[in-house]
Amino acid sequence: MTMDRLLVMRSLVAVADTENFATAAELVMTSASSVSRHVASLEKHLGTRLVHRTARSVTLTEYGVRYSAFARRILAEIDEEDRNLTGLTSSVAGSLSIICPKWLGSLDLGDAVAAFSVRYPQIEIRLELGGVQDRAYAFVDSGFDVSFHTRPLRDSRMQLRRVTTLPFVLCASPGYLERRGQPASAGDLMEHDCLTHDHEQSWRLEIGGRRHVHRITRGAFTSNSYLALAKAAVHGRGIALLPVRAARDAVAAGELKTLFGGEHVHHRSLCAVHSPGARAPRKVGVLLDFVTQWFREHPMETVRDDAATGESHTA
């Protein structure tokens, strides 16, 4: 039978403290016979006698005194480290490393994490924008605690929480629409220049309650930044599918006009992922709770423009 070294060490230390198997058994919450067996198995392993047994008492031999002192040091270090780790997982202090795509961090998520840092100044925040890899475990290997993204997660071993839904709108500049005309239906997009995010092969849209897949055949401008796409749209390069937050200011300033009445034509789930296995440190849970609540309290506004007056609105 394999010996549980820590268990027999605790039994020996209890015997050293009490000089009695029955009393030692109470300390380690087992039976006197089990304590006796633990000590005997340790003696067999070490090849030497550790205790003198008599009908009335149990005393340590010279080797027993030496080994019990060693066991006491080992157990004390283990208990101390257990306490330290327990403190780390239950506290909301220390460091917290977060990674997310550039466009998420540059928009509302950056505001949410900044607000979290103000609320919990004892946590040292590292927020890295960009560099999110396709492999589910990549962020853990790179030393990050949490990864935010909007892509489907196929690795069921990872811990995932859905934070909010991000709405998108189709936008173009007034100048572009004057030159090329405003699309009246999703099918009309085929005749227009499209400003696309990296690797987008199509736009999955829902317009007027009907779903439509627009395959990108005229990718006039591509970027890994929705802010850059918004700028290209403002300059009249084409039609862009933008997160509401990325489009809002330009629409309010009259630099962009929303298509299809400002309808939210596309949505993505914002998800937070953290490492699998053991329960996450409390600071991770506190971050996810805070960010989720932040998005509830700061809902995405609908942006629309009034074609008749040229005025822009947020709702």
The confidence band for 272, taking pLDDT boundaries of 50, 70 and 90, is confident
pLDDT at residue 310, rounded to an integer: 42
Does the pTM exceed 0.75?
Answer: no
Q: Is the pLDDT of residue 83 over 80?
A: no
Q: Number of structural domains, the chain?
A: 3
pLDDT at residue 309, rounded to an integer: 36
pLDDT at residue 124, rounded to an integer: 92
The confidence band for 112, taking pLDDT boundaries of 50, 70 and 90, is very high
CA–CA dist 151, 268 (Å, integer): 8
CA–CA dist 254, 306 (Å, integer): 10
146 Cβ neighbours under 8 A, 6+ residues apart: 96, 97, 98, 99, 139, 272, 273, 274, 284, 287, 288
Domain of residue 276: give its range: 94-165+269-297
pLDDT digits (tens, 9 = 90+) for 208-225: 888 888 888 767 888 888
Give pairs for 28-37: CB < 8 Å, separation 24+: 35/11
The confidence band for 23, taking pLDDT boundaries of 50, 70 and 90, is confident
Span 18-46, average pLDDT: 88
Span 282-305, average pLDDT: 81
Q: Are residues 32 and 106 in the same domain?
A: no
pLDDT at residue 51, rounded to an integer: 92
Q: Are residues 306 and 207 in the same domain?
A: yes
CATH of the domain at 76: 1.10.10.10
pLDDT at residue 311, rounded to an integer: 45
Q: Which of 90, 108, 139 is the last residue of a domain?
A: 90
CB-neighbour burial class of residue 229 (10 A; exposed 0-12, middle 13-18, buried 19+): buried
Q: Are residues 106 and 155 in the same domain?
A: yes
pLDDT at residue 78, rounded to an integer: 85
User: Sign of the C-alpha dihedral, residues 232, 234, 238, 242?
Assistant: positive
